[in-house]
Structure 1
Amino acid sequence: MLMQKMKITPKKLLDNSKKLWFICLLMAQGCFVTYLILGYGLTSVTTGLSGWSRLNNTAYAASDPTGNILYATHVLLAIVMIIGGSLQLIPALRTKYNKFHRYNGRVFVLLACTISMAGMYLIIVRGTVGNTLMHSLTIFAGCVVILSSILAVQAARGRNINTHQIWAIRLYLAANGVLFFRLMIFAWFLTFGSLGIDTATFTGPTVLTISICSYVMPLLIAELVRYAGRTTNKVITTVTAGLMVLISFVFLVGLFGVVLANWYPAIVG
Structure 2
Amino acid sequence: MLMQKMKTTPNRLLENSKKIWFICLLMAQGCFVIYLILGYALTSVTTGLSGWVRLNNTAYVASDPIGNLIYATHVLLAVVMIIGGSLQLIPAIRAKYTKFHRYNGRVFVLLACTISIAGMYLMIVRGTVGNLLMHSLTMFGGGMVILSSIFAVLAARGRNINSHQIWAIRLYLAANGVLFFRLMIFAWFLTFGSLGIDTATFTGPTVLAVSICSYVMPLLIAELVRYAGKTSNKVITIATAALMMFISIVFLVGLFGVVLANWYPAIIG
Give the TM-score range, shorter chain. over 0.9
- CA distance in 2: counterparts of 1:74 and 1:47, whole angstroms: 20
The alignment's TM-score, normalised by the length of structure 1, stands at 0.97
**Partner residue of 1:260?**
260
Counterpart AA for 2:88: Q
> Any unmatched runs of 5+ in structure 1?
none
The SS at the match of 1:9 is helix
- Tell me if 1:67 matches 2:77: no
**Partner residue of 2:202?**
202
Identity within the alignment, %:
86
- CA distance in 2: counterparts of 1:120 and 1:44, whole angstroms: 24
- CA distance in 1: counterparts of 2:64 and 2:239, whole angstroms: 50
- CA distance in 1: counterparts of 2:121 and 2:159, whole angstroms: 34
Displacement of 1:2: 8.1
Counterpart AA for 2:92: A
**Partner residue of 1:32?**
32
Instruction: Give per-residue Cα distances to partners, 1:71-101, cap 9 Å, x unaligned.
Output: 1111111000000000000000000000000
Counterpart AA for 1:187: A
The SS at the match of 2:82 is helix
After the TM superposition, which residues 12-161 of structure 1 pair with which residues of structure 2 at under 5 Å, given as runs? 12-161=12-161
Query: Is 1:40–1:76's contact at 8 Å kept on the other side of the alignment?
Result: no
> Any unmatched runs of 5+ in structure 2?
none
- CA distance in 1: counterparts of 2:231 and 2:49, whole angstroms: 52
The SS at the match of 1:197 is coil
Residues 47 and 240 of structure 1, relative CA distance in 2, 3 Å threshold = same
Query: Is 2:142–2:175's contact at 8 Å kept on the other side of the alignment?
Result: yes
- CA distance in 2: counterparts of 1:207 and 1:3, whole angstroms: 46
Counterpart AA for 1:111: L
Displacement of 1:7: 8.5
- CA distance in 2: counterparts of 1:7 and 1:257, whole angstroms: 39
Query: Is 1:183–1:258's contact at 8 Å kept on the other side of the alignment?
Result: yes
- CA distance in 1: counterparts of 2:4 and 2:132, whole angstroms: 55
Instruction: Give per-residue Cα distances to partners, 1:186-232, cap 9 Å, x unaligned.
Output: 00000000000000000000000000000000000000000000011
Query: Is 1:17–1:242's contact at 8 Å kept on the other side of the alignment?
Result: yes
**Partner residue of 2:179?**
179
Counterpart AA for 1:128: T
Displacement of 1:4: 7.3
- CA distance in 1: counterparts of 2:218 and 2:80, whole angstroms: 22
- CA distance in 2: counterparts of 1:157 and 1:48, whole angstroms: 45
How many residues end up aligned between the 2 structures? 269
Counterpart AA for 2:29: Q
Query: Is 2:42–2:267's contact at 8 Å kept on the other side of the alignment?
Result: no
Deviates more, 1:35-44 or 1:82-91: 35-44
- CA distance in 1: counterparts of 2:144 and 2:71, whole angstroms: 20
Counterpart AA for 1:154: L
Instruction: Give per-residue Cα distances to partners, 1:134-155, cap 9 Å, x unaligned.
Output: 1110010000000100110010
Displacement of 1:50: 1.4
Query: Is 2:195–2:206's contact at 8 Å kept on the other side of the alignment?
Result: yes
Deviates more, 1:1-10 or 1:18-27: 1-10
**Partner residue of 1:192?**
192
Indicate the RMSD between aligned Cα atoms, in angstroms. 1.4
Residues 161 and 4 of structure 1, relative CA distance in 2, 3 Å threshold = closer
- CA distance in 2: counterparts of 1:101 and 1:41, whole angstroms: 29
Query: Is 1:36–1:75's contact at 8 Å kept on the other side of the alignment?
Result: yes
Counterpart AA for 2:216: V
- CA distance in 1: counterparts of 2:43 and 2:193, whole angstroms: 31
- CA distance in 2: counterparts of 1:5 and 1:170, whole angstroms: 31
